[in-house]
Structure 1
């Protein structure tokens, strides 16, 4: 189906052809500001890979900086294409990424998006609970609590805003603090890297390009831009939806600045000896401990954003709304379902010994597919490739190829890590 780009967001009333067109991107006075949307995107995206980027440069060399900038440009472009798909028919706004998949390819498209989407919006909070629980245990060993106990404590903390705040408009307030936490974390990493530059390791080396590791570097850096699992709900909570292109571009550019500020000094200081996360390479002083605390704050604030994205889809599926259930029962159903979601995440975080490897496998496939491949394919199917100029078609082809290669290589690496974890566990 192809539509003129100018009429994509408008539709005339079915009652009369003489009536004015309805602007689906009109101002929504009851929704949040552009800044809250910007902070939402930064909080979710920047936390996905900031501390692992010096290690990514260690794997591939200085060319990783160029790969990071390329990933930024691709991510902005596909985020814009994806939101155009949301309004493709001019009659109503599609409510989710899954709906876009269904409109494009029917049930197979719906199932594909649902699988990858769910693996990220549930898998990432599970990993956040594991990370925060372990780090809390390391920071407060005198408490005598096990990692599992700390995980459940962190799950209870996450549950409070997740249950009490219904939509991303309310949760977005927390994302401002999450975004600030990311900035502090980057400052800690930069400070430690600069300190260690004065005393470099004699065995440390820097490389421009390591061809053998280049595919893995591409996959690792591409995953750092995973955020479109919440884009639909972020845009839905915007007062000025027409500002989406500027908001997402500014947010992803901010994330890239944070990435570069961490990656370049980190690789300069540690080179071939950089570790992931980079905090393991930094001087183990009070500032690094502050960085650890900031990590805990960040992931606890980011988890409700991802969980809310999943919960909104769940509640739409089961029609948990005030109109359908009434004000009281809607709150009851919503509270019970969200507590159950947090409980499942906490249980998995406690009982799966190496869940991170499973998440890496799903994340490599899911992030690269959802960020790069699917937005282009869905746009071609719903709106039409003839709407794009020749250079845009070439650009789309490059994005899809990089997305597919990143997904394959990242999945292979995750399978190897999973096998190693099983071997170690059996021993």
Structure 2
């Protein structure tokens, strides 16, 4: 079915993954649906670059110093390698969609079906669902961690800060499962970009005001390593930070001059390399081997801002940053949940048409969708509780398994099979080399993180103690 400009998408995942034919911008309707609205002149190279960077830069930013702690200063080379690999796969991914034709739906499952038949549709959808599910778990854990940081360290209502943070977050999220609507969340979602800038500025000011690390509360400052044995999980974090290729077809089609999109990809990945590199270098220089899995934890406990309040007593500068990240995570999680819901439904188009026909006469379909959201929510909570103290490993696992598969291996495979006859042997060998390297990294990073996650904890903590009265 061709995608008409200005048409309303009934499926949220298709709205995110399909490609408008000319310049367009996407707006959120009060019902939670997305509308593709035409722009008469299309996006410029500058605006498309800004949009792409804004989409890609997310939770991974907060764990950049931790990734450097795992790999040492050699981690900067790993970051550059990740940017080059995923930047190349981004260009291959967009070119592969040109083979679908102007009237075909430009979705990742549709591309998989074009390449591998009907099994390809389900294979691609499975890994895409895994990536979104991993992202939802990471977002929920981030919400808990930031809520715990904002609450008093002594806890509230007789519960520890950890117990209270998890309980309050789950209770606050529950109403959005019953009646998901983005009307009240749309303006808050803009805090995502603000949060990114705020974290970078806070870290930059921290190093600028205390370049010798003499004002850190914990003395002496931690040292550094030229290289360390945690390079594999570090690369997983870098992979998660530079993945998000599902948005690329729509970004390219929103441009006035689509032939300039390679410049947008090159500019965007170059900016991400510089931005992530700055956070990596500054964060690792300042916190060294003591870097926590979230840079906000270090800013709160071991920086020049520790204990200095703003606006209100006991509300310190680091808590302001954490509160912004908390709001961003709280408003982003429901959107990810809706994407998982619609991606799961749209994977089976015939079932979806039948369900859509029934929904006009019964409440069965809305009830089933609510049940699906609740199941995903409960799975997120269960996985988050089991791995609460291993945020860095979970983020690296998502990057190593899901991001490498969805944003590196599958795009490269699709391009290779679709353009096999048209490209020369040199390019074929280059793409196959990328896939071999990506496959090896996937196996090594996944196994390394699974060993860390499944290893017995050094200090036994009962998971049932995290949610008193709920488990």
Is the pair's TM-score, using the shorter chain for normalization, greater than 0.5?
yes
Residues 1:323 and 1:344: Cα distance change in structure 2 (over 3 Å): closer
Residue 241 (structure 2) pairs with residue 224 (structure 1): yes
Give me the whole-angstrom Cα distance separating, in 2, the residues matched to 1:61 and 1:116: 31
Residue in structure 1 matched with residue 382 of structure 2 by the alignment: 351
State how many pairs are aligned: 398
Given that residues 97 and 111 in structure 2 are in contact (C-alpha distance below 8 angstroms), is that contact kept between their aligned partners in structure 1? Answer: yes
Residue 198 (structure 2) pairs with residue 184 (structure 1): yes
Given that residues 345 and 352 in structure 2 are in contact (C-alpha distance below 8 angstroms), is that contact kept between their aligned partners in structure 1? Answer: yes
Q: Deviations 1:232-252 (Å, cap 9, x if unpaired)? A: 56667x475836545554444
- SS at structure 2 position matched to 1:123: helix
Give me the whole-angstrom Cα distance separating, in 2, the residues matched to 1:189 and 1:206: 18
Residue in structure 1 matched with residue 453 of structure 2 by the alignment: 418
Match of 2:78 among 67, 72, 89: 67
Give me the whole-angstrom Cα distance separating, in 2, the residues matched to 1:389 and 1:342: 47
Give me the whole-angstrom Cα distance separating, in 1, the residues matched to 2:239 and 2:148: 31
Given that residues 149 and 319 in structure 2 are in contact (C-alpha distance below 8 angstroms), is that contact kept between their aligned partners in structure 1? Answer: no
Given that residues 59 and 241 in structure 2 are in contact (C-alpha distance below 8 angstroms), is that contact kept between their aligned partners in structure 1? Answer: yes
Residue 388 (structure 2) pairs with residue 374 (structure 1): no
Alpha-carbon shift at residue 341 of structure 1 (Å): 4.5
Residue 277 (structure 2) pairs with residue 260 (structure 1): yes
Unaligned runs of 5+ in 1: 1-22
Residue in structure 2 matched with residue 289 of structure 1 by the alignment: 319
Match of 1:197 among 199, 205, 211: 211
Give me the whole-angstrom Cα distance separating, in 2, the residues matched to 1:199 and 1:359: 29
- SS at structure 2 position matched to 1:276: coil
- Pairing of 1:91-170 with structure 2 (within 5 A): 91-141=102-152, 144=157, 146-156=164-174, 163-164=181-182
Given that residues 49 and 265 in structure 2 are in contact (C-alpha distance below 8 angstroms), is that contact kept between their aligned partners in structure 1? Answer: yes
Give me the whole-angstrom Cα distance separating, in 2, the residues matched to 1:103 and 1:412: 31
Given that residues 137 and 150 in structure 1 are in contact (C-alpha distance below 8 angstroms), is that contact kept between their aligned partners in structure 2? Answer: no
Give me the whole-angstrom Cα distance separating, in 2, the residues matched to 1:402 and 1:332: 49
Match of 2:93 among 77, 82, 100: 82
Question: Which protein has greater RCO, CA pairs closer than 8 Å, 6+ apart?
Answer: 1
What TM-score do the two structures reach when normalised by structure 1? 0.76
Give me the whole-angstrom Cα distance separating, in 2, the residues matched to 1:419 and 1:119: 19
Q: Deviations 1:126-145 (Å, cap 9, x if unpaired)? A: 33123213432442457648
Alpha-carbon shift at residue 397 of structure 1 (Å): 4.0
Given that residues 72 and 226 in structure 2 are in contact (C-alpha distance below 8 angstroms), is that contact kept between their aligned partners in structure 1? Answer: yes
Alpha-carbon shift at residue 50 of structure 1 (Å): 1.0
Residue in structure 2 matched with residue 15 of structure 1 by the alignment: none
Alpha-carbon shift at residue 151 of structure 1 (Å): 2.3
Unaligned runs of 5+ in 2: 1-18, 25-35, 308-315, 464-471
The structure with the greater share of residues assigned to helix is 1
Aligned-pair RMSD on alpha carbons?
Answer: 4.1
Residues 1:368 and 1:126: Cα distance change in structure 2 (over 3 Å): same
Give me the whole-angstrom Cα distance separating, in 2, the residues matched to 1:330 and 1:403: 48
Match of 1:365 among 395, 401, 405: 401
Residues 1:209 and 1:53: Cα distance change in structure 2 (over 3 Å): same
Residues 1:415 and 1:314: Cα distance change in structure 2 (over 3 Å): closer
Given that residues 189 and 279 in structure 1 are in contact (C-alpha distance below 8 angstroms), is that contact kept between their aligned partners in structure 2? Answer: no
Give me the whole-angstrom Cα distance separating, in 2, the residues matched to 1:387 and 1:162: 47
